[in-house]
Structures are given as C-alpha cells and as structure tokens.
Structure 1
Amino acid sequence: MKVIYIGTIVPNDYINNYPSTSVAANNFQSGLLKGIAKDKKIKLKIYSVPARRGWPGKSSVFFSRNENLPFYYGLNVSILSFINIKFYKEISIRFHTFCSLLKELCLKSHEKCCIISYNGDGRLTASIRFLRHFLNFKYICMVVDPPEYKGTTSRKGMLWKKIYQYNKNAYMKSVYAADALVVLNKSFITINKIKSKYIVIDGGISLDEIETIKHEKPRVYYDKKNFNIVFTGTLHEHSGVLRLIDMFEQSNIQGALLHIYGSGVDQVKVKQRADRNTKIIYHGPVDFNTAISAQYEADLLICPNPITHPINQVAFPSKLIEYLGSNTPILVTKLPSIGLEYNDAVVFYDDTLDDFKVKVKMIMNMSNNALNVLTENAMHLAHDSKEWDAQSKKLLKLIKDTI
C-alpha cells in the first residue's frame, strides 16, 4: 500500500532555513506522518513546498532547489523546487507537484495508492484533481486551515478579492473531490454539508515530552517579581494577537508582563506595539525548542483566538494542545470547536476585556495546589487522548478504510 503525502512540512532540524514555517502546522504534520511511518505495511513518500516568504528585512526573491531532508528513521522529506517570484512561484509549484505525483503514481501502478494533501491549496491539489481523471487512487484532504468565510481577506482592492475568491473556490473543489477528510472541527462538515467520510483530529502532542514533564518536580507559580503571560504562535488576525495586546494594555494588571513569540503578517505591528510598551516583550520568530521552553517557564499561557472571526468558527486552535503538555495554566477563548473534555483542563474567557481581566487576576490569585490540579488535568487529557500515536492511528484507520 502506497501513501503519497504533499504538504508544507520541514524536518525540525531544518526549520530555521524556512523562517515562515508555522511551528504548529509543522508539528501537526510531523506527528501524524511519524505515526503512519511506523506501519510497515505502508510505503510512505513525502513531498513538501514549505512556506518561505521573506519577512521584513529579508530578501523575498530566491530559488529553492529540490532537496531531500532526513525526517524519521530513514524516511526523507522531498522539498520541491520553486522560484519565489510572485506568479512564477505559482507556476513552478504546480509544475513540480504534477511531475512528482505523476512519477509516484506511475511507479508500481498496480499497488493501491492514497494521496494525502495538507489543506486544499490549489497549488498542491490541482494536480491531484486532474490526475484522478486518468489514474486510479484515493484522495484524503486534511482541512487544517479552512478558507475564511463571508469573503473576508486582509488584502484590499478588487484584484485581491478576486484572487482570494479564486483560491477559496479551488480549496473547496479539493474538499468536495476528496474521498475522505481530516478536519479539526466537525462544524466544518456541517456548515458545508459534506457527505464524505471524515475524522476529527484537533492536534496532538509527543508522548515522550509529556512523560518528561510528568517526572519533573511540581512547579511553583507566581513566585517571581512579575507574572509572565506568554503567547506563542502565528501572528495573524485569526490568532487574535493584536486584540490580546489591546486587552492587556487596557486591563493594566499590576505585575503582569506579556511575552509574544512568533511570526506572521502582523509581525511588524506587534513589534511596534511592543516598542512602545515596556510591559510587552516581543521575542520574534523562534525555533520549536525555544517556544516550548518559553511555555514551560511561563506563569500563564494564552490562546486569544477571537470567537467571532470566521475561521475560528470552523477551525481548532491547535496551539492549545501543544500548551496542554507544558505544566502551565492556560487561558483560552471558548471557541465552538473546543469540546467539553477541556473544561477541567483550562480556564475559559468570553473574549471581552472585563472577563479577560477577571480571569487573569483569578489565576494570579489561585493557590499552588489549585494550579497544580488544573495543570495535572491538562496533562492527563494530553496523555489519554491527544498524543500523536493515538491521533495517527485514527488517520491510519481512515486510510485503510478509504483504500
């Protein structure tokens, strides 16, 4: 049985070479693919077109060469080459994706085969839809970053709106063309009236990391001069980082500092806000280990995803699962996708300034015993149902049922 994966994954040892790569997205792909690779009956081939845009101060024009990067026990990730110049990039990605998939499908074509794509990005999935007219294989689409609804886009102007609508339509064509789906949130299936089989995987965490943390001594909370609130993740409208800064400044909580780690389209604005306020520290883009260390050392972790943002109606904040293993209290907005199993593991707030201020102060004043109970509940939740081996088994079953 052959499984061909096309996504945006970069092996962790090389992630600094691709500064625009989302750590959460990379961990999501890595965790599931390692689980698939453990099944000896599956021949797994991984292709990737990593995000490698030039952020402010870095050149955005370059040629990315095809290379094979070691990933997991002899398995490589094949980085597809492309030219990072606007429309040339689109053309080169589509061309190399098509050639790579065609080559894999023609090799031992008698084998049962399944292609899995990370999201329905038309650059990666147009070739899949085209090849299905001529070749026999099954297709599973991971809907991790669904297109935003109600026509929202951060770009202004008629041209950008048309491009956005085109990309959204291409994404949804891939979703409807798939034999099966992996979604973060069941509401995506309901809203779009999708009839294909699907599974829900809202993220995962490494069991090894959890076990390491569990054997550490109990943490002592708020025994330092400052109460450190930490956000790690993508700096984008749907992650709510600018709204978090607004609430933090307006709440004016004595002794609290806000630490922000990450990169994204709001990176410049975040840096500007931090430069004007000594209580806000922007640490910039960091590697996975640094982000994890920051989570362990924090007094409070926060997922401030705006409840009313369209994408948060159908997506799940996968960063939340990463937070579960940190042994640190978590404050999170109550999104529709967050199930009842999280009620005893995190503290929710309703995305208003008043409730934000109340909940932060409540956590600051909680006893060490109460905080330890909260973080232990989070650790148990991560251990029992969110570790990657358990999540990847769900995907393996879907692959076998689909083929």
Structure 2
Amino acid sequence: MHILYVSNLCSDEKFKEIFNNSSIKPQQQAQKFHSLLSKGLINQVESVYVMSSLPINRSTDNNVSLSGCKEIKNSTTYHYLKGIKYPVLKHLSIFIRGISNSFIWCFQNRKRDRLVICDVLNLTVSISAFLASKIFGVRSIAIVTDIPDYMQNYTLLKKNGIRSLFSNLYKRLCNYFMYRYDSYIILTEQMNNVVNPNRKPFVVIEGMVDLDMKDVPNILDNKYSEKIVIYAGALYEKYGVKKLIEAFLKLKMDDARLWLFGSGEMEDEIRSYEQLDNRVRYFGVVPNEDIVKKQLKATLLVNPRPSNEEFTKYSFPSKNMEYMVSGTPILTTPLQGMPKEYYDYVYLIEDESVEGLTQTLIDILSKPKEELHEKGLKTKEFVLEVKNNVVQATKVLKKLS
C-alpha cells in the first residue's frame, strides 16, 4: 500500500523552524494529529508521501524556506508545495502545484495499491488531490476533524465584508467536496450524520496518543510542590475558560495555582486576572513539548468545555488525549462526543456552574497525591493500549482500505 497524505503537515524539524520564526504561531494541534496518524500509517504500509501546504502566514519570517522542497524523515517523504505569503496568490499557486504533484504521484504509482488521504479542512491542497484521485480512480479518504459550518461560531469575533464573503465561500466549498469522498475518518459517531449523508464507509477515531509516550515516566516525586492546575488550548469564553478562571478564584487554597497556555480572544482578560490573583499565570503560546513537560509535573489537567453546546457532538478535543497520556489526572465535562468508555478514566464535571466547578476542584485537589497519581497512571495505561497512533492507524486501514 502506498499513501498520498494531504494536509499542512510537515516534519517535526520544519514545524519547529516555522514556529520559532512566526509571530502568529501555527496550530500545534493539527500538526500533532496528522503527525501521529502519518507515523502510525508508515508502520503498516510501504510508503507515505506527504503533500503539504506549509502552515505559514504573513507573520512568518523570511528565513523560513517557502520553496517546493522535499524531506525524507523516518521513511516518510514530505513534499512542501511552494507558496506565497499573500492569501489569494498563495491559494492559487498551491492549487496549481497540488494538481501537478497529485497527478504525478497517481501516475507513478499506477500499478500499485494506492490510497489518497486528505485533510478536508485544508481546502486548497485537498481539492487538488481529490480531483486527481477521481481522474485516476484512486480511493479517497477524508479526514474530518471539525464541521465547517461550526468552525466560525466558536468565538465572539465576527467577520464582515470581504472576510465574511471568503469565509462563506470556504464553508460551501468544504461541504461540496467533503460529501464526495469514498470514505471518512471522523472524531465522533454524531459527525457521521453531518459529513457522510450518503452512508459511505467510515471509521471513528476520537484522536490518538503517541506510542512513544510509554517511555516517558510520570513520577510522583517529580511533581511540583504546589497544586498546579493546567489548561492548555484555545482561550475562548465559549470553551469554558472564563468559567474555569472564575471558579478557581473562589478556591480557598493558598498552594493552588492555575496555569493557562494558548491564544485567543481572552488573552487580555486573562492578564487582568493575573493582576487580580497572583495564583493565576498566563504563559502564552509555547512549544507543545514544553507544555507536555509541565503536564507531567502538574497535579490536574482541566478541559472545561461546556457539554451542552451543540458543537461538542462533533468534536473530541485533542487536548484530552494529550492530557490522558501524560499520566496526570484529567478533569473534563461529559462532552456529547466522548464515548462512555472514557468515563472510568477521567474526573467529570457534573455541575458545570461556576460554583459547581469550584466544588469539584476542591474535592479533587483535596485528595491524597498518591490517589491522584494512581488515577493518572491508569488513564495513561488505557490510552496507550487502545488509542495509540499505531492502533488507530491500523483501525483506519482495516476498515477503509
């Protein structure tokens, strides 16, 4: 089996280069998801050829190479389509080069068992590969990690004028092509009714964890002396971040700390909370590997995303998987898209009011540190056994190839 994997994925080294040279940081969640899946696939197939539009923007320093170069890392070939930083020209040039390279790959592998896997949200490059797959009769799989119609509703920010026009065009094109793939990789069962109305083959993988984390220990003696509660992700009120902070402020524990990582509309507000209570600390956007190191030493990892929001049917936060494999216990709401099998391995926020969340934090942070540590280790064992990236990649190939 030979796979053309289409997204904005790049090698770990290239992503680090882009991250360090950008004032507006690229999304680390998408990079991690596609990196884990591609690394899981390479263990099962003869070759993985990644065709990527690099996650660059006009804030990216000119030191980052934008030329159409290739890298080979761990038996995976990365082909970065040459891009231009200016939006319209960028998409046009990537589409043209994507069509050309997709045709070449399909032709060169015409006598082999082939599969095209596309991140449908990376619209420009996925359309080019999708069209090539139809012309050459290659099976196509859509990776759908979010519902296009919901993506613009997560924040309070409104798009007006030309930006609104392009946003609506993006959603229409996403939906048009999304319905036409041969099969689907989705995050929740509920997503299937939306993205797969023609009832084609699909597989649900809520996410995946890095199998290599089995060699990264979570040691009780290495924990911070204070009770560190961490939230790492998008800083939007709609994600429950404000409610988490307000609940924490009501917590009467001098040795408790709330650390927040990420970016979003609440950044300035969070800085004001820092001035109000010195137990709250905002770190901004930092490399994922640094966040993981802090998660290993923390007391509790929290995802306060409200479970009553409609969009939670169609998402399984990647942060939950990252939290779980760290070996530090996780506190989360009972998200509609989260299977019941996870309930035994997480602490649940059953009362999602500010007062209820405060009481939940009190209950958990008052537990013996040994009990919390044991909970986290059992959670890590669970996800490493049944949700690691090799297991999930095998599941994809068995059901869809």
- 1:78 Cα deviation from its structure 2 partner: 1.6
**Alignment map for 1:243-262 (pairs within 5 Å):** 243-249=243-249, 254-262=254-262
Query: Residue 382 of structure 1 aligns with which residue?
Result: 383
The verdict on how the C-alpha distance between 1:18 and 1:129 changes in structure 2, with shifts beyond 3 A counting, is same
Instruction: Tell whether 2:182 aligns with 1:183.
Output: no
- Residue 365 of structure 1 and its aligned partner are, at CA, apart by 0.7
* Shift in Å, 1:150: 9.5
Query: Is contact 1:54-1:60 (8 Å) kept?
Result: no
Structure 2 SS opposite 1:134: helix
Look up the match of 1:117. 118
Which residue is equivalent to 1:90? Answer: 91
Give the secondary structure class of the aligned counterpart of 1:109: coil
- Alignment of 1:339 with 2:344, yes or no, is no
- Measured after TM superposition, the shift of residue 319 of structure 1 is 1.3
In structure 1, the residue corresponding to 2:229 is in which secondary structure?
Answer: strand
Q: Aligned AA for 1:300?
A: L
For the 8 Å contact 2:299–2:328, the answer to whether it is kept is: yes
Q: Spell out the pairing of 1:77-226 with structure 2 (5 A cutoff).
A: 77-149=78-150, 152=153, 154-192=157-195, 193-213=197-217, 217-218=219-220, 224=225, 226=226
1:222-250 deviations in Å (ceiling 9; x for gaps): x72x3211122344566444453344346
2:326 counterpart SS class:
coil
Residues 1:235 and 1:283: Cα distance change in structure 2 (over 3 Å): same
* CA distance 1:157–1:171, shift in 2 (3 Å): same
Cα deviation digits, residues 2-52 of structure 1 (max 9, x gap): 210111212223322222333332222122211211235x33211122322
Question: How far does residue 88 in structure 1 lie from its aligned partner after superposition?
Answer: 1.7
1:129–1:24: structure 2 CA closer, same or farther, 3 Å change rule?
closer
Deviation at 1:101, TM superposition (A): 0.9
Cα distance in 1 for residues equivalent to 2:346 and 2:58: 36
Which residue in 1 is equivalent to 2:281? 281
CA change 1:279–1:53 in 2 (3 A) is: farther
Considering only aligned residues, what root-mean-square deviation do their CA atoms show, in Å?
A: 2.8
1:65 pairs with one of 52, 64, 67? 67
Give the match for residue 359 of structure 1.
360
Q: Give the conservation status (yes or no) of the 8 Å contact 1:141–1:178.
A: yes
Report if the CA contact (8 A) 2:106-2:132 is conserved.
no
State the secondary structure of the residue aligned to 2:73.
strand
Corresponding letter in the other structure for 1:257: R
Aligned identity (percent) is 19
Q: CA deviation at 1:317?
A: 0.9
Rounded to whole Å, the distance in 1 between the matches of 2:269 and 2:67 is 32
> 3-state DSSP class of the match of 2:148?
coil
Change (3 A) 1:31 1:151: closer
Aligned amino acid, residue 199 of structure 2: K
Displacement of 1:197 after TM fit? 0.8
Q: CA deviation at 1:294?
A: 0.9
The structural deviation recorded for 1:310 is 4.2
1:321 aligns with 2:321: yes
Instruction: Tell me which of 36, 43, 46 is aligned to 2:50.
Output: 46
The structure-2 alpha-carbon separation of the partners of 1:269 and 1:209, relative to structure 1 and needing over 3 Å to count, comes to same
Contact kept? 2:58, 2:86, Cα under 8 Å: no
CA–CA separation in structure 2 for the residues paired with 1:62 and 1:83: 12
Larger mean CA deviation between 45-54 and 149-158 belongs to 149-158
Task: Say if 1:142 and 1:96 are closer, same or farther in 2 by CA, change over 3 A.
Answer: same
Q: Which residue of 1 aligns with 2:291?
A: 291
2-side partners of 1:340 and 1:155: how far apart? 35
Partner Cα separation in structure 1 for residue 181 and residue 104 of structure 2: 21
**Shift, 1:194, TM fit:** 4.6
Distance 1:155 1:288 in 2: 29
Given residue 207 of structure 2, which amino acid in structure 1 is its aligned partner?
G
Note the C-alpha offset of 1:165. Answer: 2.2
**In the comparison of the two structures, how many residue pairs are matched?**
391
Q: Does the 8 A contact of 1:238 with 1:312 survive in 2?
A: no
User: Does residue 32 of structure 1 match 2:45?
Assistant: no
Give the equivalent residue in structure 2 for 1:370. 371
Alignment of 1:302-313 (within 5 A): 302-313=302-313
| TM superposition shift of 1:199 | 0.5
Give, in angstroms, the shift of residue 364 of structure 1: 0.9
Post-superposition CA distance 1:168-225 (Å, at most 9, x none): 1222222211111000111011245351111111112223312432xx654587x72x
Is there any run of 5+ residues in structure 1 with no aligned partner, and where?
none
Structure 2 CA distance, aligned partners of 1:101 and 1:370?
A: 53
Whether the 8 Å CA contact 2:202–2:400 is kept in 1: the answer is no
Give the whole-Å Cα distance in 1 for the aligned partners of 2:111 and 2:201. 25
Name the TM-score, length of structure 1 as normaliser. Answer: 0.86
**Structure 1 residue aligned with 2:14:** 14
Equivalent pair of 2:142/2:178 in contact (CA under 8 Å): yes
Relative to structure 1, is the Cα distance of residues 189 and 61 closer, same or farther in structure 2, using a 3 angstrom cutoff?
farther
Aligned-partner Cα distance in 1 for 2:194–2:250: 36
How far residue 295 of structure 1 moved from its aligned partner, in angstroms, is 0.5
* CA apart distance, 1:151: 6.8
* Counterpart residue type for residue 77 of structure 1: Y
Question: Structure 2 counterpart of 1:298, which letter?
Answer: A
